[in-house]
Structure formats: structure tokens, C-alpha cells
Structure 1
Amino acid sequence: MNTEKSHQATLKRLEKFSRFTDSSIRIPFTHFKLGAESLIGILPVVGDLAGLLLSSYVLFEAQRLGVGWGIKLRIIINMLIDFFAGLLPIIGDIFDVYFKANTRNTRLLARHLSQ
């Protein structure tokens, strides 16, 4: 498989993953969507650790694609913001609905690969 097709296949997987973790469930009568990670994050500490582990998938794919440390560092920063904010009771859960770290990181990776 050529590099372009491989990158597109990876991005397609990451977009599905991000949609599942960040915005797969629409809140009725609103425009808000949340994902599996938001639901898991409701569990104190353990849910946030599980979310961090899930988010590492985007970093794993970035590493597999040979992305430089600058982009990987930005991915890690987004992961850590999401993790530490999620540790705050209630406020962290609300923050997670808006921040959508996996979607941010997938878009970051897509922009980098399109250059």
C-alpha cells in the first residue's frame, strides 16, 4: 500500500475512533454530543485513567506514522489537559464534553499529514 493510501486509512480509523470517544451520543433536544470517554470519565480517577489510555491510541498511530516530536508533544499536551481537567469533579466532566481531545489530536495529525 502506498504512503498516501496508508495515511488516509489511518486517518479514517482515527476519525471513527474520535467520533466514538468524543461525540457518538447526542444529548436530546440540544446540539451537544458526548462520547464514550465522557461517560467513562464520570468514574472518579479510574475513568480518567481509562480515558487517558484510550487517548494514547492517537499517539500510537502518530508514532507508527513516523510523526515528529513536535506534533507528538502537542498530542501529549492535549491528552494531559483532558486527563487533569477530568480529575475535577463535575467541572472536569463538563470540560471533557467541550474539549474533545481525541478529535483535536486527530485533526492535528490530519493537518500535519496533509502538508
Structure 2
Amino acid sequence: MAAHPHLDRVARAESIAKRMDSALRVPFTRITFGLDSIIGLVPGVGDALAVAPSLYIVKLARDCDVPGHLQGRMLVNIGADWLIGLVPLIGDLFDVGFKANLRNAALLRAHVENALSTDAQPRPASDPSLAARTPLPA
């Protein structure tokens, strides 16, 4: 049986998020960083380029029918990452710790898993006593 299409989108979002936020590790530490941090080192242009994969994760969320308020939260994460990333050095350090893409991928996964588990819940059977009281059409 094939996986649900939303789960495929979640996996794609998580893959992008990992590359962007935690693909590399500082040796002998638990500190991870990704392409977002490296690209962000290029003044001005770097942070703007790093927004494209972030917005793609939001597009994947939209394709998974994520509600607007959750998409808004994802956009706030991206905006904070971008805005603070514009500040030299401080923005680069913030970028290593904040990890907006991983946050957004986690929000997407939580929504999709919740939606799929809600869909999988058995529907309550109708009350059999109602059938006895409901007249059949002539």
C-alpha cells in the first residue's frame, strides 16, 4: 500500500529542512548547522536566497491543507529567521540556534499526523433505537 501523499510531502519538507538547518555538525559538539547558515554568510543576498527553500516548505504545507493560522506561524518563523539573519554575526549565530525550517517541518508533520489519525478513527455507529422509531418511506 502506498503512503499517503501528505506523508510524502512531509518527508520532502523534512529533507529540505535538514539540509537547510542541520546537515553539518561542529566536531565534538552537539551544534548543527546547514546550508541556511552557510548561505547566510554572504551579505545581503545570502539571507534572501535562503528564504526560497523555506517558502517551498510552506507551499508543501498548503498542499497538505494546513490551516491558514498554522501557515502564518510558519511564515513568522521564516520572517524572524530572515530579519534577524540580516544582522551581521548576531544573525548568523541566531540562525544556527533558531532553525526555522526544522520548526516548520515539525509543525507540518504534527498537523498531517493529527489529520490522518483523526480520519482513521472509527465513526460511531448510529443509535439502533432510532431505526426502530423512524418510519420507512412508502
TM category (shorter chain) comes to over 0.9
Equivalent residue number for residue 69 of structure 2: 70
TM-score, normalising length: structure 1? 0.93
Aligned residues: 114
Q: Distance in 2 between matches of 1:11 and 1:48?
A: 24
Equivalent residue number for residue 7 of structure 1: 6
Given residue 100 of structure 1, which amino acid in structure 2 is its aligned partner?
K
Could you tell me which runs of 5 or more consecutive residues in structure 2 were left unpaired when the two chains were aligned: 115-138
Q: Is the 8 A contact 2:16 2:53 kept in 1?
A: no
Note the 1:1-115 alignment, pairs <5 A.
5-115=4-114
Matched residues, percent identical?
38
Cα deviation for residue 66 of structure 1 reads 2.0
Q: Provide Cα deviations, 1:26-76, integer angstroms capped at 9, x if missing partner.
A: 111211110011000001110000111221011110111222111110010
Equivalent residue number for residue 132 of structure 2: none
Moved over 2 A (4+): none
RMSD: 1.4
Q: Distance in 2 between matches of 1:67 and 1:27?
A: 34
Secondary structure at the residue paired with 2:29?
coil
Q: Is the 8 A contact 2:54 2:101 kept in 1?
A: yes
Cα deviation for residue 97 of structure 1 reads 0.3
Higher helix share: 1
**More off after superposition, 48-57 vs 94-103:** 48-57
Q: For the pair shown, which has the larger CA radius of gyration, 1 or 2?
A: 2
TM-score, normalising length: structure 2? 0.78
**More off after superposition, 45-54 vs 80-89:** 45-54
Cα deviation for residue 24 of structure 1 reads 0.4
Given residue 82 of structure 2, which amino acid in structure 1 is its aligned partner?
F
Secondary structure at the residue paired with 2:69?
helix
